[in-house]
Structure 1
């Protein structure tokens, strides 16, 4: 048991001697160039390393974590070789956002032995004083209470809001006076086109159904829908007019036989296989009147 203990002590002593000798071969030094620092102000820190040429040593780069300091920039100097000793140096520009009265920093150098084995040797800590921007309060300083009302500007700038609203109203009035008639025409034509397309699709569907199965109920519904659309487009009470009253109008003479054929089915209950052709004539007449009304609106 004693022999094992002796061997362990000898091995430990050898490792300590090797580490001491290794450390003596490398000298890493660093420090601040300034005596004090203000918050957010650039501060300069220098770092040097002297080591044998046989050793692979690197200084911290931009990937190093300088916390609590903020990295701002760096400047490296070419390595110098003299008597088998290499001398490296670098200057770092840092910033501090800490408010400790005294702040410290000691940057390291890294000895690379292999890809996965490195040794860190740090420079001795150097200190720098924090320079406050707020002057210290003197003993003679006394706060004075003032309860007088102070007029503070409102968060909402109401005068500016009224100016913008007034300008908007003036612009809107000018646009209405200059383009109001054209805008009304455009909206009227757009609404008429939308209504016509919807009615035309419904009428086409009814015609296809009547072609396959002519029946009284669908014919009555389609005729009523047609009168309602004409009433809205022509601005005349077509839904309350009889066939004779409709035929009395100057532009409906072409519908004479058509409406009578539909009336025979709707009111007389007489089904006709060619009933769908009467509604096709209705479709052609409605399309023509839509074109006429659209032109009247455009030219009004």
Structure 2
């Protein structure tokens, strides 16, 4: 491309012979006499003027229609006998389908704090037609097969979205992490307690119908296992005395376990079943009280000095 431009510039003296100073018009000509759609073409533009004049050539912001600007290359001003010649080569392209296309560029002369525009004679170039005759659009459409385009994952968007989600999650955890832990712990406590109450009440109903010592033993085992999970201590392995001591001889616990021991080891359920029912409800009431105690402890003891521990 550069070789063509410099070869183009070497022809300037020959073109200058055809121009007289009296004409005082800029000159422009295309490198070739024809061009294809979208093909780049060089356009030589030059102007001869008195050396004292200041002129400006069109830049990339100028409207070169029907052509589009691609690039430009200026050449140094040449002065001889007080007559200067300025020249530039524009690289253009066209997407117009007109068979003959013209271009007439101006120069801008600075004169007495004003700008005078002088336009060159239009330069012509022909458009090369690669398709001869009218195209059979119906046939082209019938023979056209759509090419499948594989889906592509936009990893940039996925990475940005993932980063935003991670950032939001971190901020939520920093701001609400302790509250989330507390609410989750309270939810588990309530769920386990409701499950225990439903099963324990079922044992009470079964005992009312059968007065079976096996039902009593199963209910006590359920009660111990629930407190073991609630307190975080192996209460289900404690003896009656150890349980009473662990709960500081709580009246409900000591009374209920004493009545159950009396029923189991004395085998007197049928004679004193009313006492056994009382023992059931005492353990039920005690489990409710311990649940409320642990719930309040979880709710109000979760501070930076006393964090909640999820076992």
TM-score, normalization: structure 2?
0.46
TM-score, normalization: structure 1?
0.48
